[in-house]
Structure 1
Amino acid sequence: MDVNGNSQIFETETQFHRKLSIVIELQLLIVIYYYGKVTKLKKSHARNLKRL
């Protein structure tokens, strides 16, 4: 009984960690995406300033 209980707890913990890692990866992707957009905007803005 005790061994089964422990294994069940371990399974749910690994599932939780998996979900957590997926969420973190998604957040990182979003951050990288927005960072790329911002840097592109800054680069184009700098080009526009050079023209003036």
Structure 2
Amino acid sequence: FVVAGSRWAQPDGQVMFILVISLAAAEASIGLAILMQLYRRFHTLDIDAASEMRG
């Protein structure tokens, strides 16, 4: 997107690049928040231990 946008002198490629980077940052922060809640609740990051405690 960025290369094509700079080739034809349009900022659309840069806007798409910023959008993709923003979405990746949002996904990473949601994943980190899930891991933090898992550790707070079960005092471990082991997914199997958390699913066994669920019942």
Q: TM-score range by the shorter chain?
A: 0.5 to 0.7
What residue number does 1:28 align with?
A: 32
Deviating runs (4+, > 4 A) in structure 1? none
Compute the TM-score of the two structures, normalised by the length of structure 2.
0.61
Q: Which has the higher contact order (CA 8 A, sep 6+)?
A: 2
RMSD (Å), alpha carbons = 1.4
- Where does structure 2 lack aligned partners over 5 or more consecutive residues? 1-6, 44-55
- Where does structure 1 lack aligned partners over 5 or more consecutive residues? 40-52
Compute the TM-score of the two structures, normalised by the length of structure 1.
0.64
- How far is the alpha carbon of 1:34 from its aligned partner? 0.1
Between Structure 1 and Structure 2, whose CA radius of gyration is higher?
1
**Which structure's residues are more often helix, by fraction?**
1
